[in-house]
A and B are shown apart, each in its own frame.
Chain A
Amino acid sequence: MVRLLYIYKRIAKGISQRPWGSLLTLIACWFAVCQLSVVFYTVSIAGRAALIPGTNSTVMAYLEGNPQQSTIQSLQERLLVLEGVSRVSYISRDDGLLRMKQWLGSENPLIEGLDSKILPDAFEITVKPSYVGKVDTLMEKLRKISAIEDVRCHKGLIGFIAGAYHSIVFAGFFISLVVIVCLALVLFLSIRVGIMTRRQEIEVLNLLGAGKGFLFAPYIIEAALYGLVGSVLASLTAWAATGFLLWRIPVLFGIISPPNINQIIAMIVFACLCSVSGAVLAIRKSIDA
């Protein structure tokens, strides 16, 4: 077994031989994990936006003419079985007018003198969270139903974000992939430089009968340390940044929150794995050379 004291001495020696390189590697690790955190928060916010009622998650379907109660009931049952629909609520003309009064104010001159039957009967259709990105497909299907005269879905900024949820997830996945590859590459280069700098040492140890574990354990642990320290710093940064945002923009309460302990652990493990992967690649490359 390779003794910890030996590994500590070798890592300390390696860092002292190239202090700026080590510092830059650490900064790169910190920066990469920060970027991953930003991606995580963006996807998370988009996911929450998709769940806010009145955006893409709710569609209004206005009915034609004066449908009978039995027609309304059968239509409601028909809508309920459509893909992506989680709930269908009937809103009568009277209820619609009531809502309008609440929205515009009952004293509003626009409402004054209006016929109580002026608005059409309607269905408020709640879309399943997993379907919010495909709300346009659902609206197309609704328009093809003969009893339905018009279909509306109000999209604001949040609606836009919610609508782009799937694109954001895809972009987030892609950016994460690039960041992970970059992180592994930075560690690969850093450890490779470390190995090249200490080639004489490795050659001598190899000649003396050192196993691969003894030869390369210090480099693996050094890489894991970069990942560990970088992700701890990134967690602290994420924690401070969310704290600052919540203090400055209280409306964000419930939308973003500081990373919890599970997220921090996941971040640390993930960063360490990426770093170690880079180091393993560098070692394999050095052995091949």
Chain B
Amino acid sequence: MIILEGVSKVYHGSVYALRDVSLHIKKGECCFLRGPSGAGKTTLLKLMYALEYPTSGQVYIQDRDITGMDFLNIQGIRRHTGFVFQDLKLIDDWSVFDNTAVILEILGKSSAYIRGRVWKMLKWVGLQHKVYERAGDLSGGERQRLALVRSIIHDPDILLADEPVGSLDEDMGRYIMNMFYRLHKKGITMIIASHREDPILDFARVIRLDRGKVIGE
């Protein structure tokens, strides 16, 4: 499903974010990327989402080499991949409904389908009563749930999440992790980056990173 072969990423010519990382993540697998700040977790996720290209090595997503792929194909890959960004990337001026529905709009789904699907998913994360509120007016936990629901509403094959519980309290962190567990049960391939130790789930494969290298599993 996701293969990284000898991937290195260098910034400014000499700063190594990743050094010769090779990974093989199977379909339906749930992986935690663990490590301190600066270990290279976010860079790894960005490479998997084609937000950045590796300095050397190859990245394969669903058997397609995305290294140097053109804009059109990259957008095609992104449309079928969910990403919970560290800073959430919600559009604050838009309503909860519009933020949730946007990926379905991009995929060209019908209005009736979008309405039904958005309502169902917002209910699943407990945001159905906030449907017409501005995303900018939501609390931190609500924004996190909104970002999660936006990333999975289109049933992606792969879900990437960058510190999805990093800024949440313990209860909310557990609540979000429980949602990830439910998604895992549905068979979605997930890669979750987290520097916290507490929300580890026993079903997940844990990949430990430090200073851009895989130091153990």
Contact = CB atoms under 8 A, between A and B. Distances in A.
Interface of A: 1-3, 5-6, 9, 13, 200-201, 203-212, 214
Given A1-B108, A205-B106, A211 B75 contact: yes
A124 to B, nearest CB: 71
Given A201-B93, A204-B89, A209 B78 contact: yes
A201 B106 CA distance: 13
B51 A208 contact: no
B111 A3 contact: yes
A214 to B, nearest CB: 6
Contact of A205 (B92, B102, B108, B111): B102
B106 A204 contact: no
Contacts of A5: 111
A65 B56 CA distance: 100
Interface in B62-80: 71-72, 75-80
Given A3-B108, A201-B94, A207-B83, 19 more contacts: A2-B105, A5-B111, A9-B98, A200-B92, A201-B93, A204-B90, A205-B102, A206-B75, A207-B51, A207-B85, A207-B89, A208-B150, A209-B76, A209-B81, A209-B103, A210-B75, A211-B72, A212-B71, A214-B105
A205 to B, nearest CB: 7
A195 to B, nearest CB: 15
B10 interface: no
Closest 8 CB pairs of A and B: A209-B78, A209-B79, A209-B75, A210-B106, A204-B89, A6-B105, A201-B91, A208-B103
A211 B71 CA distance: 8
Interface residues of B, number: 26
Given A201-B93, A207-B83, A214 B106 contact: yes
A194 to B, nearest CB: 14
B78 A207 contact: yes
Given A5-B111, A200-B91, A208 B76 contact: no
A2 to B, nearest CB: 8
Contacts of B71: 212
Nearest to B83: A207
Nearest to B88: A204
A214 B75 CA distance: 11
A200 B89 CA distance: 8
Contacts of A204: 89-91, 102
A201 B93 CA distance: 9
Contacts of B92: 200
Given A201-B91, A201-B93, A204-B91, A209 B106 contact: yes
Contacts of B78: 207-209
Contacts of A207: 51, 78, 83, 85, 89
Interface string B101-115: 011011010010000
B112 to A, nearest CB: 12
Contacts of A203: 89
13 contacts: A2-B108, A3-B111, A9-B98, A203-B89, A205-B102, A205-B106, A208-B79, A209-B76, A209-B77, A209-B81, A210-B75, A210-B106, A214-B105
Given A207-B51, A209-B76, A209-B78, A3 B106 contact: no
Nearest to B75: A209
A205 B94 CA distance: 12
Contacts of B80: 209
A200 B90 CA distance: 9
A136 B94 CA distance: 70
